[in-house]
């Protein structure tokens, strides 16, 4: 059974870079069928797609975050990572990673999801 | 601000049918497949419906999805207390070149 687990600091200072890793177990991240993505959810608010990466390294980013986001993949460690630079309090959220299935070449659904990790931006 | 609009809340008594709408446009729902997610407080979302109307293994057939034009709907037949959760629609948006989520609907079982 495929499982995903987020890891990384729970507290980041304003203007610094948020870094998270999603470790995939029970399956290979090198699958040609799926992308791997990040989603976040501010406390009490809705879901926001951050971006996704194909195992080859091709990436898609949310236009509103694109200038600050980098998603990378390490197939040797079977994990992928998120970096979000110049963070502010508005970036405080639960960050989820997930496997992204495609239909007719377009990203279509996330499953499964990691359990999520709360990242707070505060000095 | 999300490009997919859902009603903030929906409710029903046990056994009733509840429907949740998701309104988009021609660049998202109108041209791509819709998925639906269920989220309980403090937990990660779970895929409920994909490809507009397909249920992943393990999802009860009480849940059904549909798409018509630039809108989609999730129906819960035979509402149960354990269905009380937040529900989100989502799809790819060709204009934004991004994956977009709906605003979310909180379902309450009265």
Question: Nearest-CA distance from B26 to chain A in Å?
Answer: 15
CB atoms within 10 A of CB B7: 15
Percentage, residues of chain B above pLDDT 90: 96
pLDDT, tens digit, 9 for 90 and up, residues B13-55: 999 999 999 999 999 999 999 999 999 999 999 999 999 999 9
User: Which pLDDT value is given to residue A47?
Assistant: 98
Asked if residues A97 and A4 have their Cβ atoms less than 8 Å apart, the reply is yes
Instruction: Read off the pLDDT of residues A82-123 as tens digits, 9 standing for 90 and up.
Output: 999 999 999 999 999 999 999 888 889 999 999 999 999 999
Give the closest of A48, A108, A114 to B44, CB-based.
A114
User: A39 is written with which tokens?
Assistant: 């989603």
DSSP string, chain A: --EEEEES-SEE-TTS-EEEEEEEESS-TT-SSEEEEEEEE-TTS--EEEEEEETTS-EEE-TTTTTTEEEEEETTTTEEEEEE-S--GGG-EEEEEEEEEEETTEEEEEEEE---EEEEE--
What is the pLDDT averaged over residues A71-80? 94
Distance, in Å, from the CA atom of A40 to the CA atom of B84, rounded to the nearest integer, reads 22
Work out the minimum CA distance from A45 to partner chain B, whole angstroms.
9
Distance (Å, whole) CA A61 – CA A21: 17
pLDDT confidence of residue A60? 93
Confidence band, pLDDT 50/70/90 cuts, at residue B60 = very high
Question: What pLDDT does B18 receive?
Answer: 98
Both tokens assigned to A19? 């870094």
**pLDDT(B67) > 80:** yes
Instruction: Compute the distance between CA of residue A105 and CA of residue A5 in angstroms, rounded to an integer.
Output: 26
Can you tell me the distance from the alpha carbon of A37 to that of A50, in angstroms, rounded to the nearest whole number?
Answer: 7
* Region B78-82 average pLDDT: 97
Nearest CA in chain A to B34: A108
More confident position, A31 or B80: B80
The model's pLDDT over A22-61, given as tens digits with 9 standing for 90+, comes to 999 999 998 888 999 999 999 999 999 999 998 788 899 9
Size of interface A-B (CB pairs under 8 A): 72
**Is the confidence at residue B1, as pLDDT, over 80?**
no
- Average pLDDT across chain B, whole number: 97
B51–A108 CB contact, under 8 Å: yes
CA distance B45 to A123: 30
Q: Mean pLDDT across the stretch B62-87?
A: 98
The pair of three-digit structure tokens given for residue B18, joined into one six-digit string = 């509840």
H or E segment and range at residue B47: strand B46-49
In the block, tokens 């407080």 appear at: B41
Residue A105: what pLDDT?
A: 83
């Amino acid at each position: 059974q495929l499982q995903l687990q987020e890891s990384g600091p729970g507290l980041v200072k304003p203007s610094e870079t948020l870094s998270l890793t999603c470790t995939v177990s029970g399956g290979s991240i090198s699958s040609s069928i799926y992308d791997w993505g990040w989603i976040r959810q501010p406390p009490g608010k809705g879901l926001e797609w951050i971006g996704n990466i194909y195992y080859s390294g091709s990436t898609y980013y949310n236009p509103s975050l694109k200038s600050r986001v980098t998603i990378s993949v390490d197939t040797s460690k079977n994990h992928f990572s998120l970096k979000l630079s110049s963070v502010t309090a508005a970036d405080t959220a639960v960050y989820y990673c997930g496997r992204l299935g495609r239909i007719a070449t377009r990203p279509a659904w996330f499953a499964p999801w990691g359990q999520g990790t709360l990242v707070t931006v505060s000095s | 601000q999300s490009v997919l609009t859902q009603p903030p809340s929906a409710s029903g008594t046990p056994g009733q049918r509840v429907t949740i709408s998701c309104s988009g446009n021609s660049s998202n729902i109108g041209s791509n497949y819709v998925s639906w997610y269920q989220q309980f407080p403090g937990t990660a979302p779970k895929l409920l419906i994909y490809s507009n109307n397909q249920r992943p293994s393990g999802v009860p057939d009480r849940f059904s999805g549909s798409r018509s034009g630039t809108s989609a709907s999730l129906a819960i037949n035979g509402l149960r207390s354990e269905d009380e959760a937040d529900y989100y629609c989502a799809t790819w948006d060709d204009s934004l070149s991004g994956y977009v989520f709906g605003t979310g609907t909180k379902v309450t079982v009265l």
